[in-house]
Amino acid sequence: MKGFKLNLFLFIAWWIFGVVSSVDNNAIYSALKPQTTHQGFIMKENDLNADEHMINLTSDTVNYSQDFFYTEDLKKICHAQVNEFIWKCPTISDSEEKILKFRTINDTIDDSLSMVWYLKSINEIDVVKMEPKTYKHQIEFKVEFDEQIISLNRLYPTYPEISGFEILQFITNLAYQCEFLIHVHDASDVTTIYSTLYGITYYEYHFKGIDLNQNFSFKKIIVKKETFLYCLEKRIEFLIETLSELFYQNIQICENAFVSVEFCPITFETQRIFYTQSFKFCIDWSPIGGFQDINLPFSNLFEIDSKDIVRIIKRKQQSNYFNFVKITRALDKKINKTYDEIKAQIFDESFLMKIFFNIFELCFFELEKRKSNPNPEDIFKIYLRPCVIPNINLFLKYYTNV
């Protein structure tokens, strides 16, 4: 009798363990598309590592919480049943949670064939609006019901900050659950860089993915520090008045909207200048026949399948290359400048060039710690994006000893 009870106990324990394991492994996938049969949707072990199937993922993958997928809310967007909803970004182990609130341009829900949505706030802080026109917001997309298309109208930097990739995670999730296509007009300030490095646009790179283990031609190029920095300084010095005017316009918008210095996007619309001037003109592209300015289609449609959504959602918002590089400890104790102080400094060309030159030098020093012979991809992923661009913003707003 005791043997029978023991065997019965073991059988029940084995059955419960099997059910729970099955639920854990498939939860994040079934949550994406409930009530829909999709052949090949449940991934096999050769599609993803077994550890990445678990709800509590490692630090290199997305840490899903139980209420991450707002499936019902997203379906309501497709069916024009709501005009406001909340989206919780996939949380990364070393980053704070971000709660995004989206609203429709019009407050009423009607029988129109489309609805335009915009990002209203991040963690209950309203996004700074940099365009005077009421219908132009930093993040904006249109849901076209008859055509079954989600058009990403605008993807501009936001303050408070959120990465463009985090917005793309949401858009792909929405498109996949609604079974809609994604339409984009590619005006990204980094598409030239993506097309030159990889032969595809910024959006295709993220929506459809790419094998980065390919033997890309840019890997034959070594960027020489002295030549690169001398060129970059001269190119930016030539455009210093343009940069000063853009900084000033952004400050005026912030002052008129009563936005604090901390959240003011002083460098808005200037990133493209630094990307283009450094990448196109200050790198010696002769080993591969010169700079490849590839003309790719401006308008694109993307269909998101199960492999795309799993790859995009499980991916960290940025690779380790994109983590912010702090180049001075003086910023540990930030002392804000006033708008009047900043305005006086941005029209002082010698002061601006000193800031730029110091940032260019210090960021290259940080680059060389990681890559002794950097190539053009390193200039973008280690030097420009995580170091030069964000530090210009900080040096303009805060006092430093550099």
pLDDT tens per residue across all 402 residues of the chain: 545 444 544 444 444 444 433 333 333 343 444 333 222 222 222 222 222 222 222 223 333 333 334 444 688 888 888 889 898 876 554 456 788 999 998 766 666 788 999 999 999 888 888 876 666 788 899 999 999 999 998 888 777 788 888 899 899 999 999 999 999 988 777 888 998 999 998 899 999 999 888 999 999 999 999 999 999 999 999 999 999 999 999 999 999 888 889 888 899 889 999 999 999 999 999 999 988 877 777 788 999 998 998 888 777 544 434 455 555 555 555 678 999 999 999 999 999 999 999 999 999 999 999 999 999 999 999 999 889 998 998 899 988 765
Instruction: Give a three-class secondary structure readout of the chain.
Output: CHHHHHHHHHHHHHHHHHHHHHHHHHHHHHCCCCCCCCCCCCCCCCCCCHHHHCCCCCCCCCECCCCCCCHHHHHHHHCCCCCEEEEECCECCCCCCCEEEEEECCCCCCCCCEEEEEEEEECCEECCCCCCCCCCCCEEEEEECCCCEEEEEEECCCCCCCCHHHHHHHHHHHHHHHCCEEEEECCCCCHHHHHHHHCCCHHHHHHCCCCCCCCCHHHHCCCCHHHHHHHHHHHHHHCHHHHHHHHHHHHHHHHHCCCCCCCCCCCCCCHHHHHHHHHHHCCCCHHHCCCCCCCCCCEEEECCCHHHHHHHHHCCCCCHHHCCCCCCHHHHCCCECCHHHHHHHHCCHHHHHHHHHHHHHHHHHHHHHHCCCCCHHHHHHHHHHHHHHHHHHHHHHECCCC
**Whole-model pTM?**
0.74
